[in-house]
């Protein structure tokens, strides 16, 4: 489970990420990433934050929750390797139902690399 500091909670935070983010389409999900402007906040460094969304179009609740748990676990594994000061929302697609965990993990890593989210 992701720590509270690494989760997006409020609707306005989700809306901010959707409106001001860079979007990457993947086979299993859409990755929205918003870099936090350091001039607008008082704290110099904030940890990366993630939110996961799966609409009712994806599947029944059991499958949606399974996909969200898998992506949360992948994000938690990758968390120490990521840069601070960004918020990301992952919108899960229907095609994620047919993907195995290692394939989903590889797809998540590739997307993070495309967005240059890994610390050097």
Q: Which among 6, 19, 24 is positioned nearest to 74, based on CA atoms?
A: 6
pLDDT of res. 40: 58
pLDDT of res. 27: 95
Range of the domain at 88: 4-114
* CATH number of the domain to which 17 belongs: 3.30.230.10
pLDDT of res. 36: 83
> Is residue 51 assigned to a domain?
yes
* Alpha carbons 105 and 100: distance in angstroms, whole number: 9
As given in the structure block, the two tokens for residue 36 are 């936090």
Mean of pLDDT values over 113-117: 94
> Is residue 47 assigned to a domain?
yes
Q: Which residues contact 66 (CB under 8 A, 6 or more apart)?
A: none
pLDDT-derived band of residue 45, with 50, 70 and 90 as boundaries?
A: confident
> Is residue 119 assigned to a domain?
no
> Is residue 41 assigned to a domain?
yes
Q: Are 84 and 46 spatial neighbours (Cβ–Cβ below 8 Å)? A: yes
pTM score, whole prediction? 0.90
As given in the structure block, the two tokens for residue 68 are 């969200």
The DSSP symbol for 37 reads P
Number of domains in the chain: 1
> Is residue 32 assigned to a domain?
yes
Residues 47-94: tens digit of each pLDDT: 999 999 999 999 999 999 999 999 999 999 999 999 999 999 999 999
């Amino acid at each position: 489970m992701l720590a509270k500091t690494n989760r997006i909670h409020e609707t306005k935070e989700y809306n901010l990420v959707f409106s001001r983010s860079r979007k990457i389409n993947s086979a299993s999900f859409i990755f929205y990433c918003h870099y936090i402007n350091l001039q607008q906040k008082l704290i110099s460094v904030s940890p990366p934050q993630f939110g996961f969304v799966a609409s009712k179009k994806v599947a029944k609740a059991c499958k949606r929750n399974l996909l969200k748990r898998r992506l949360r676990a992948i994000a938690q594994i990758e968390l120490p390797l990521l840069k601070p000061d960004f918020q990301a929302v992952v919108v899960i697609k229907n095609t994620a139902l047919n993907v195995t965990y290692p394939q989903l993990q590889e797809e998540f890593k590739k997307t993070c690399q495309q967005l240059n989210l890994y610390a050097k």
